């Protein structure tokens, strides 16, 4: 029993240190971007965001989302889990790629067009070297542009890819735990309507992240009023994914709580049944 405890303690120290080291590397590397100047792609602007978002993802999965990761690792092996993961990831990356492409066009005041299908990596040095510009560099750099003439342009960043993976992990964990809750309710002879609210929570969390991008990018020009306001793109790109992450995390906690409550009621029911069964022969003998 002692060894697992020590292992957890060692891991608890090693993981935050590991993440902190990569955040420090990201900060240090970002300052080298100014030495290379306007070179694109700038090696420092490739490495710094990679270090930073790796550290953030590791910290999230290792601590608040540890149970979600374990549930994901179990349920992604099923056909349903793998299908949900791939489908959400693809839809999220494409939709938020449209968002990022629009934001970059607004920031740099030039469209990303190409005469032929192409994939290229771009970085930008946000000068002067201040904290706000360093944050912008981490959010945007590098961006990978996919162009298929005449109409398709999509831009990806480490932020959009990283948070898409985290949300997809939470969705698969929620779907898997909700299906398990349905089976537990059936075994305990509880109403399966208890699964309704967790299922609605999954829909709310996923739709919170996808509904506005769909409205702004796919439903245009019917959403012309929204799509003409650049702040809608900015708010959607930066605000909605973290909100969806929090909602899905809270929903997963509620599913675990409901499942624990249902499971804890099963031994009592079993005990009553066993006691009645043992009492019947005693009555017969008397």
Of the two residues 204 and 139, the one the predictor is more confident about is 139
CA distance 30 to 46: 9
- Given this model, what pLDDT does residue 4 score? 38
Query: How sure is the predictor about 9, in pLDDT bands with cuts at 50, 70 and 90?
Result: very low
Of the two residues 74 and 277, the one the predictor is more confident about is 74
Could you tell me if 74 and 176 are in contact, meaning their C-beta atoms sit under 8 angstroms apart?
yes
- Using one digit for the tens of pLDDT, what is the confidence trace for 19-40? 788 888 887 787 777 777 666 7
Could you tell me if 44 and 36 are in contact, meaning their C-beta atoms sit under 8 angstroms apart?
yes
Tokens of 256: 């675990």
- Using one digit for the tens of pLDDT, what is the confidence trace for 235-246? 788 888 888 898
How deeply is 180 buried, as exposed, middle or buried, from its count of CB atoms within 10 A (0-12, 13-18, 19+)? middle
Of the two residues 194 and 150, the one the predictor is more confident about is 150
- Mean pLDDT value of segment 62-74: 90
CA distance 266 to 186: 11
- Given this model, what pLDDT does residue 83 score? 93
The proportion of the chain whose per-residue pLDDT surpasses 90, expressed as a percent, equals 12
Query: How sure is the predictor about 228, in pLDDT bands with cuts at 50, 70 and 90?
Result: low
CA distance 166 to 168: 5
Ranking 19-33, 61-75, 102-116, 162-176 by mean pLDDT, the lowest is 102-116
- Mean pLDDT value of segment 48-71: 89
Cis status, amide bond into 127, omega within 30 of 0: no
Of the two residues 84 and 276, the one the predictor is more confident about is 84
- Given this model, what pLDDT does residue 115 score? 65
- Closest C-alpha among 169, 129, 167 to residue 27: 129
Q: Per-residue b/e over 100-131, b at no fewer than 16 CB within 10 Å?
A: bbbbbbeeeeeebeeeeeeeeebbbbbeeeee
Ranking 47-56, 186-195, 266-275 by mean pLDDT, the lowest is 266-275
The proportion of the chain whose per-residue pLDDT surpasses 70, expressed as a percent, equals 65
Could you tell me if 257 and 197 are in contact, meaning their C-beta atoms sit under 8 angstroms apart?
no
Q: Is the pLDDT of residue 208 over 70?
A: no
Ranking 75-84, 111-120, 137-146, 225-234 by mean pLDDT, the lowest is 225-234
Query: How sure is the predictor about 267, in pLDDT bands with cuts at 50, 70 and 90?
Result: low
| Distance from the first to the final alpha carbon of the chain | 49
Provide the whole-model pTM.
Answer: 0.77
- Using one digit for the tens of pLDDT, what is the confidence trace for 134-183? 778 888 888 888 887 766 778 888 998 999 999 999 999 988 888 887 77
DSSP state of 120: E
- Given this model, what pLDDT does residue 273 score? 35
């Amino acid at each position: 029993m002692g060894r697992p405890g020590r292992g957890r303690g060692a891991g608890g120290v090693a993981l935050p240190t590991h993440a902190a080291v990569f955040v420090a590397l990201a900060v240090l590397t970002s300052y080298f971007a100014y030495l290379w100047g306007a070179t694109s792609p700038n090696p420092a602007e490739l490495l710094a965001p990679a270090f930073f978002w790796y550290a953030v993802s590791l910290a999230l999965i290792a601590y608040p989302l540890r149970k979600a990761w374990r549930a994901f690792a179990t349920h992604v092996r099923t056909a349903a889990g793998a299908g949900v993961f791939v489908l959400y990831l693809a839809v999220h990356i494409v939709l938020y790629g449209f968002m990022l492409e629009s934001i970059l066009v607004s920031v740099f005041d030039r469209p990303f067009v190409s005469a032929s299908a192409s994939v290229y990596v771009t970085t930008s040095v946000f000068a002067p070297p201040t904290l706000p510009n360093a944050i912008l560099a981490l959010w945007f750099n590098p961006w990978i542009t996919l162009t298929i003439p005449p109409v398709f342009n999509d831009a990806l960043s480490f932020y959009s890819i990283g948070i898409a993976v985290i949300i997809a992990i939470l969705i698969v964990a929620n779907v898997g735990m909700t299906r398990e809750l349905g089976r537990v309710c059936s075994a305990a002879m509880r109403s399966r309507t208890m699964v309704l609210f967790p299922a609605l929570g999954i829909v709310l969390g996923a739709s919170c992240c996808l509904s506005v991008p769909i409205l702004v990018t796919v439903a245009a020009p019917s959403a012309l009023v929204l799509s003409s306001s650049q702040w809608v793109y900015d708010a959607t790109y930066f605000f909605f994914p973290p909100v969806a992450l929090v909602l899905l995390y809270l929903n997963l906690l509620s599913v675990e709580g409901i499942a624990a409550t249902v499971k804890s009621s099963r031994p009592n029911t079993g005990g009553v049944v066993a006691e009645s069964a043992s009492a019947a022969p005693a009555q017969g003998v008397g």
